[in-house]
Amino acid sequence: MLYTAMCFWPGVADDELRLAAARAAEPTSSEERAVFRGALHLVGDDVVLCLFDAPSRVLVKQASERAGIPCERVIDSVWVDP
C-alpha cells in the first residue's frame, strides 16, 4: 500500500531534509517495514510529503519518527503515472 506522511516542518533546510530522507531509506531488520520512496518539499507551506510503501500506517509513522521527520498524519495514497 502506498502512503503519504504529511509533515509540517517549518524552516527545514534542504540539507536537513536530505539527511532525514537518507535515514528513512535505510533498511531495517524487521520483515514488515515501510519503504521510503521519496519526498516533496512544499517550501511556501512548510510541508514535506513523504511517500512510503508499507503494510500499515503505523509502520509509516514509526519510520518517519525514526528518521527524524515530524509526521503529522499518514494518508492512503494513489500514484498516477502520466
The answer to whether 23 touches 67, Cβ cutoff 8 Å, is: yes
The answer to whether 7 touches 50, Cβ cutoff 8 Å, is: yes
Domains of the chain by start residue, with CATH = 2-76 (3.30.70.3090)
- Residue 32: the pLDDT is 81
Radius of gyration of the chain, Cα coordinates, nearest whole angstrom: 12
Over residues 4-49, the pLDDT tens digits come to: 999 999 999 999 999 999 999 998 777 788 999 999 999 999 999 9
- Indicate the pTM of the whole model: 0.91
Burial 24-40 (b: 16+ CB within 10 A, else e): beeeeeeeebbbbbebe
- CA torsion 6→8→11→12, rounded to 10°? -30
